[in-house]
Amino acid sequence: MIACLGRIVQGTDADSIPEDDVSTISQSLDLQGTTIESGGITGVADKDFGGIYSVKPLALIKPSGTEDIARVVKAASRTSNLTVAARGNGHSINGQAMADGGLVIDMRSTEENHFKLLTIDGSPYLDVSGGALWEDVLKRCVSMFRLAPRSWTDYLSLTVGGTLSNAGVSGQAFRYGPQTSNVTELEVVTGKGEITVCSETQNSELFFGALGGLGQFGIITRARVKLQPAPDMVRWIRLVYSEFEEFTRDAEFLVTRGEGESFDYVEGFVFSNSDDPINGWPSVLLDPDHEFNPAHIPQTAGSVLYCLEVALHYRHSDHTSTVDSAVSGLLERLQFVRRLKFQVNVSYVEFLLRVKRVEEYARANGIWDSPHPWLNIFVSKSSIVDFDRTVFRKMLKDGVGGPMLVYPLLRSKWDDRTSVVLPEGEIFYIVALLRFVPKGPPVEKWVAQNHEIVKWCNEEGLDFKLYLPHYQSKEDWKRHFGNQWSRFVERKSSFDPMAILAPGQKICKRTN
């Protein structure tokens, strides 16, 4: 193992490195404060949240900063076969942050390197490390500056670089776009080991390439994130629908209205029309005092029901009656089942950390660490009714052991110069099948069901793209990127010509 590591320092005195001394290798690379652990003993770099794949790296590297990351990438480029995977918080599903026999860089060890508030043209921005967790960004921004990023993910124990390499989507994206639409500058270490600052106007190909770039063009070491004043409180509301057409009509109505004329957060999910504690009626409740009375479900309801989840921001200084009338003014236009409405008031930070509570519960029940064969798909508005009819109402009518999210997003809020690929049309839906599999059939069964769903989408000619995509063959990747494939290839040859970076995405093979 260590003998192989010696190869990464070709050109130095690698031959004199004692085979059992990893710190000597670290020194010979002249890495400032960086530690290297050999692959066999990491126990971190070969695991991810999905728990489906596991490959052993050669080593896990904990860099102290950007220069060290650049040195590691350069060293890998001097070998014939080494690859480098940035590992954010390892919350991928399909081994995307792993490197088989390669070097895994633990980005978390750089999380403290950047945290600076800036004002540019009167607007606030935060310079933050690629390895920082969004939950820390939230807590620090709100407590120190009473400011916060505008666009989030539902769960925040994810790194800035990890979500920006995909898109970063939650209930604010209809208004502000995904997280990739809310950064103005990046510092990136390319696959050539060059440290490059990039933005819309400076090295723009790298900037847009890295955003949603699946780690293929560079390692994001710093991001400049747009901020806004943080509200104090959130009215968090869930509304039940029995008809998909009414649910989508209302969701689309809310996401297409201007700021000040809609909620601040709009999401939705499908749940089983049953008393199943995980997949059914109880999954809608926001408070232990809430009760779901099935007598209110319309007779016409089918195997599944729909829940529109919305939230309105407000300040401590806002009078309750002001919030009440703003909420009722919006709700009166909607067609939900009137007696199946649930709401609570929570602090803004508590609202954004809501999935942390789910994590605590899942950890206590032993299902956080079990496999998660998740499937995320962007489905165009033109295909979503067919998707509901077959996938939600038939294939998944009993649920997936976790949330089945479905809510609309607006293509115009996404920058088509980034590497993300989307279905056609202005409105498309994110569908997230967030499976938790505590016991029962082996994980392969659920992976096979995911394949079946994707196969059905293809056979029926649905307009869709995988989000957090996972493919094994170049042909599938080509199809995924569609008419953006040539742009992908050009960017790859400019910024990572030897295909050193993010080998776990299985898009390109390492070359010499």
Residues marked active site are found at 91, 154, 267
Query: What residues between 458 and 487 interact with ligand FAD by CB under 6 A?
Result: 468
**Nearest one of 245, 350, 213, 332 to 287, comparing CA atoms:** 350
Give yes or no for residue 159 binding ligand FAD (CB under 6 A).
yes
**Nearest one of 192, 196, 179 to 66, comparing CA atoms:** 196
Give yes or no for residue 153 binding ligand FAD (CB under 6 A).
yes
| The one among 91, 150, 222, 226 contacting ligand FAD by CB under 6 A | 91
Binding to ligand FAD by CB under 6 A, coded x per residue (else -) over 218-257, reads -xx-------------------------------------
List all residues 6 or more positions away from 356 whose beta carbon is below 8 Å from its beta carbon.
135, 155, 156, 157
| The one among 94, 165, 242, 262 contacting ligand FAD by CB under 6 A | 165
Nearer to ligand FAD, 240 or 405 (CB): 405
Give yes or no for residue 450 binding ligand FAD (CB under 6 A).
no
Give yes or no for residue 166 binding ligand FAD (CB under 6 A).
yes
Q: Return phi, psi of residue 228, to 5°.
A: -145, 165
Give yes or no for residue 158 binding ligand FAD (CB under 6 A).
yes
Question: Shortest Cβ distance from residue 95 to ligand FAD (Å)?
Answer: 9
Distance, CA of 218 to CA of 206 (rounded, Å): 8
Distance, CA of 101 to CA of 425 (rounded, Å): 42
Nearer to ligand FAD, 327 or 430 (CB): 430
- Are 33 and 64 in contact by the 8 Å Cβ rule? The answer is yes
DSSP 8-class letter at 135: H
Tokens at 211, concatenated: 């955003």
Distance, CA of 160 to CA of 162 (rounded, Å): 6
Angle at 53 between CA 47 and CA 56, to 5 degrees: 60
Nearer to ligand FAD, 6 or 504 (CB): 504
Query: What residues between 169 and 228 interact with ligand FAD by CB under 6 A?
Result: 169-170, 214-215, 219-220
Give yes or no for residue 453 binding ligand FAD (CB under 6 A).
no
Give yes or no for residue 373 binding ligand FAD (CB under 6 A).
no
Helix axes 474-481, 485-495, angle to 10 degrees: 110
Do you know the residue count of the chain? 512
Give yes or no for residue 155 binding ligand FAD (CB under 6 A).
yes
Give yes or no for residue 89 binding ligand FAD (CB under 6 A).
yes
Chain mean position to CA 86: 15
What is the Cα gyration radius of the chain? 23
β-bridge partners, 346: 234
Give yes or no for residue 163 binding ligand FAD (CB under 6 A).
yes
Question: Shortest Cβ distance from residue 436 to ligand FAD (Å)?
Answer: 10
Q: Which stretch binds ligand FAD (CB under 6 A): 152-160, 193-201, 286-294, 451-459?
A: 152-160
List all residues 6 or more positions away from 232 whose beta carbon is below 8 Å from its beta carbon.
314, 315, 316, 347, 348
Question: Shortest Cβ distance from residue 129 to ligand FAD (Å)?
Answer: 9
List all residues 6 or more positions away from 300 whose beta carbon is below 8 Å from its beta carbon.
242, 243
Question: Shortest Cβ distance from residue 128 to ligand FAD (Å)?
Answer: 11
Give yes or no for residue 130 binding ligand FAD (CB under 6 A).
yes
Give yes or no for residue 77 binding ligand FAD (CB under 6 A).
no
Question: Shortest Cβ distance from residue 97 to ligand FAD (Å)?
Answer: 4
Residue whose pair of structure tokens reads 């209205």 in the numeric block: 257
Footprint on this chain of ligand FAD (rule: CB under 6 A)? 48-49, 85-92, 96-97, 107, 130, 153-155, 158-159, 161-163, 165-170, 214-215, 219-220, 468, 502, 504-505
